[in-house]
């Protein structure tokens, strides 16, 4: 059973990825991330002094502001903000800068499916660009479940509409090259398999969800390779400029 996709994509093939950092000059860190036609711009400001009310001042506070392409923000955007905030909170080291606030502004440039995962990837790259201390990187992937029970990855907007259900999954990047030596005691293999964030829509059986997880994990390896490579190459560019 095969599914026809645009540009002859196979079910588990991702759209072309691109990532560039330091795209905005006034922000402390920024990145743009695109998957096919979906493109998101993320800017990081901070850490600034003080936390908001009802936040724990013993930790750093993360604030996410979602800017849709057009119109005002509604419940959907509020949910995205909350998911992004909780996801980023769990990958940042919050105890290093207590009683500070880091703002992440996410601007949607174009939405052609898998918007939330694109935003998470962009925000993650922007945090690296701003030099915010992080435990590890995170990569997000969108898995779709077609009527026939087939799993396809990274859907376009048109494909999203035809799907029975989908799952947005966020996995940690392997820690080997990102974290300082001290914390490399986390064993690499199983850690990449743990879910940081999972959001699902539509009905599916538990087995189908587990299948999505498995496919998502496989694809996240490719994604994290890409993320690391693009961050590293730009890093060497930056240092050569500075020199």
* Contact footprint for other proteins (CB under 8 A): 54, 74-76, 78-79, 82-83, 85-90, 165, 167, 170, 172, 190-191, 193-206, 208-210, 213
How far is it, in rounded angstroms, from Cα 96 to Cα 184?
18
Q: Minimum distance from CB of 84 to other proteins (Å)? A: 9
Count of CB atoms situated within 10 Å of the CB of 152: 21
How far is it, in rounded angstroms, from Cα 162 to Cα 147?
8
Sign of CA dihedral 218, 221, 224, 230: negative
How far is it, in rounded angstroms, from Cα 237 to Cα 221?
24
Q: Minimum distance from CB of 75 to other proteins (Å)? A: 4
3-state SS assignment for residue 221: helix
Q: Minimum distance from CB of 194 to other proteins (Å)? A: 3
Q: Minimum distance from CB of 21 to other proteins (Å)? A: 23
Does the bond joining 202 to the residue before it have cis omega, within 30 degrees of 0? no
CB closer to other proteins out of 24 and 105? 105
3-state SS assignment for residue 94: coil
Q: Minimum distance from CB of 7 to other proteins (Å)? A: 29
Buried b (16+ CB within 10 A) or exposed e, 49-61: eebeeeeeeebbb
CB closer to other proteins out of 22 and 68? 68
CB closer to other proteins out of 203 and 242? 203
CB closer to other proteins out of 54 and 239? 54
CB closer to other proteins out of 86 and 229? 86
């Amino acid at each position: 059973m095969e599914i026809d996709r645009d540009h002859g994509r196979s079910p588990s093939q991702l759209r072309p990825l691109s990532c560039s950092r330091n795209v905005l000059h006034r922000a402390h860190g920024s990145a743009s991330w695109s998957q096919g036609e979906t493109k998101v711009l993320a800017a990081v400001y901070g850490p600034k002094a003080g936390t908001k009310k009802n936040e724990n001042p013993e930790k750093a506070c993360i604030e996410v502001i979602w800017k849709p392409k057009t119109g005002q923000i509604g419940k959907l955007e509020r949910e995205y903000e909350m998911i992004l905030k909780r996801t980023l909170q769990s990958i940042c080291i919050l105890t290093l800068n207590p009683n500070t606030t880091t703002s992440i502004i996410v601007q949607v440039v174009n939405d052609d499916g898998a918007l939330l995962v694109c935003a998470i990837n962009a925000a993650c790259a922007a945090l690296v660009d701003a030099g915010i201390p992080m435990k590890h990187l995170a990569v997000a992937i969108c898995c779709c479940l077609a009527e026939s029970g087939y799993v396809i990855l990274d859907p376009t907007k048109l494909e999203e509409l035809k799907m029975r259900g989908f799952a947005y999954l966020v996995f940690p990047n392997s820690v080997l090259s990102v974290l300082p030596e001290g914390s490399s005691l986390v064993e690499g293999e199983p850690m990449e398999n743990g879910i940081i964030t999972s959001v699902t829509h539509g009905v599916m059986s538990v087995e189908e969800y587990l299948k999505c997880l498995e496919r998502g994990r496989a694809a996240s390896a490719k994604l994290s390779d890409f993320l690391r490579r693009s961050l590293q190459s730009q890093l060497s560019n930056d240092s050569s400029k500075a020199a």
